[in-house]
Structure 1
Amino acid sequence: MKIRAGYEIAYNCPQPTPMILQLSVHPSRTPDLLSWDRINFKPPLPARTYHDSFGNFCHVITAPEGRLQITADFTIEDSGRTDPVVANAYQHPLAELPPDVLIYLLGSRYCETDRLGDVAWKTFGHLPAGWSLVQAVCDYVHNHITFGYEHADPTMSAWEVYNKRRGVCRDFAHLAITFCRCLNIPARYCTGYLGDIGMPPPYPPGDFAAWMEVYLGGAWHLFDPRNNVPRVGRILMARGRDATDVAIVTSFGLCTMVGFKVITDEIK
């Protein structure tokens, strides 16, 4: 399967504004690219690139005063298979976890394990460990939260989501990640493209998506508490502890988003 993906994002800045962009396809998907995932700026400007501590591809720019348009349009090869399910993946005892995954057991800005630990154990502590436990967390979060773009709040944490019971895909991911960490399951936040391939209409406007990966049976496995069904055509962009680490744009000054369009379409 071939997928065309990309975006058109625009900002207005009252003064030159430094930014860090995480808009590129994750290095793990680079071999699947059929055309260059090139980031374009209008007006043209230089960008310094680097890989952050989580392995994500980043650009550092200084947006000029006025309007800045950021675009990309590329084609990628995809297996066309749905997200894998590994029902027998087991949960590791803490002492057996590799050192590099331990950071994903700790609380982070949007994932307050200290505030939700009691809730997690009271709700899920009686269930068998492993894949089925993570799926139970996803089922709970999927049913606990009402989805709606009108509920988007960039400062809302898992604790607030749990109490307010509303949010967008990042909020579903944050709450599920927090519960998993409380239950001693390493969990990390993911963002990327997820179109409506294989899904019935009507189709909402294109957007980036958030999901999570958990460490079970010696490997990282994908779970999506927002959709809660295996999907086709997912394209990873970045991973981290929570949304702080994978924000598509982090600006160091005042700016206003004035345009946003995301494309993720199967090429017939």
Structure 2
Amino acid sequence: MLIRLGYEIAIDCAEATPVISLLEIHKERQADIKRQTRVLTSPSVPTRLYHDLYGNTCRRFTAPGGGFRILYDAVVEDSGDTDEVNPLARQVPVAELPDDVLCYLLGSRYCETDHLSDLAWQVFGPVPSGWARVQAIVDYVHNRLSFGYGYARSTRTAAQAHEERVGVCRDFAHLAITLCRCMNIPARYVNGYLGDIGVPVDPAPMDFSAWLEVFLD
């Protein structure tokens, strides 16, 4: 199938402001692009790309004071297949993990593993390791939190979301990531477009969404 994607983001700056955007199509999907515009800014300003420590493609530019827009439009080809379900996927012992995933076991600004470690081991320690344990974590978060756009708060951490029992997509992702990391399962935060395929038509503008990726063998 062909999927059209893009964005038009408007911001207003009190003065010239350095900006980093993480809005590029993932490098693994570049070959699937059938057509695309270049990234446009209004007013036009120079932009350049670089890759951060996690492999993300980032775009740097300076937005001038006043109104500013950044625009992009593309069509990509996709099989339409859903993610693979593999109940036999196993949890890799920490000693055998690849070097490049070890960082996804660490606590971070929004994922306070030290605050939730005891809870995680109490709840998920008895669950078989691997796919079943990750699914149990995802189910727990789904049942623990209530979703609502009105609950959005940029400073909310995983532990706070667990305590408050509310949140938006980022809070669901942060809590699941934290619980996975507490159980020595590498997990990382991912964001992208909120899909509108196979669901009722929503007249509201397209939105971004957040989810997690977990490392299993």
| Category of TM-score, reference length = shorter chain | over 0.9
**Counterpart position of 1:174:** 174
Q: Which amino acid aligns with 1:79?
A: S
Q: Which amino acid aligns with 1:59?
A: R
Q: Aligned residues: percent identity?
A: 56
Superposition CA RMSD, Å: 1.2
**Counterpart position of 1:7:** 7
Higher relative contact order, structure no. (Cα contacts within 8 Å, ≥ 6 residues apart): 1
Cα displacement (A) at 1:194? 2.9
Residue pairs, 1:184-199, within 5 angstroms: 184-199=184-199
Closer, same or farther in 2 for the Cα pair 1:36/1:204, shift >3 Å? closer
**Higher helix share goes to which structure?**
2
Cα displacement (A) at 1:205? 4.2
**Counterpart position of 1:30:** 30
**Counterpart position of 2:53:** 53
**CA displacement 1:176-215 (0-9 Å, x = unmatched):** 0000000010001111113121124557642111111111
Looking at structure 2, the residues matched to 203 and 101 of structure 1 have their Cα atoms a distance apart, in angstroms, of 39
Cα displacement (A) at 1:56? 1.0
In structure 1, list runs of 5 or more residues that go unmatched: 218-268
**TM-score under structure 1 length normalisation:** 0.78
Closer, same or farther in 2 for the Cα pair 1:211/1:37, shift >3 Å? farther
Deviates more, 1:163-172 or 1:200-209: 200-209
**Counterpart position of 1:159:** 159
Residue-pair matches, total: 217
Cα displacement (A) at 1:38? 2.5
**TM-score under structure 2 length normalisation:** 0.96
8 A Cα contact 1:32 1:78, kept in partner: yes
**Counterpart position of 1:150:** 150
Looking at structure 2, the residues matched to 180 and 95 of structure 1 have their Cα atoms a distance apart, in angstroms, of 17
Cα displacement (A) at 1:36? 2.6
**CA displacement 1:220-256 (0-9 Å, x = unmatched):** xxxxxxxxxxxxxxxxxxxxxxxxxxxxxxxxxxxxx
Q: Which amino acid aligns with 1:187?
A: A
1:115 alignment partner, SS class: helix
**CA displacement 1:64-87 (0-9 Å, x = unmatched):** 010001111110011111122111
Residue pairs, 1:217-256, within 5 angstroms: 217=217
| 2:141 is equivalent to residue 127 of structure 1 | no
In structure 2, list runs of 5 or more residues that go unmatched: none
8 A Cα contact 1:124 1:133, kept in partner: yes
8 A Cα contact 1:25 1:37, kept in partner: no
Deviates more, 1:166-175 or 1:79-88: 79-88
Closer, same or farther in 2 for the Cα pair 1:37/1:143, shift >3 Å? farther
2:35 alignment partner, SS class: coil
8 A Cα contact 1:147 1:166, kept in partner: yes
Cα displacement (A) at 1:37? 5.5
8 A Cα contact 1:196 1:203, kept in partner: no
**Counterpart position of 2:95:** 95
Looking at structure 2, the residues matched to 38 and 212 of structure 1 have their Cα atoms a distance apart, in angstroms, of 28
Looking at structure 2, the residues matched to 47 and 200 of structure 1 have their Cα atoms a distance apart, in angstroms, of 37
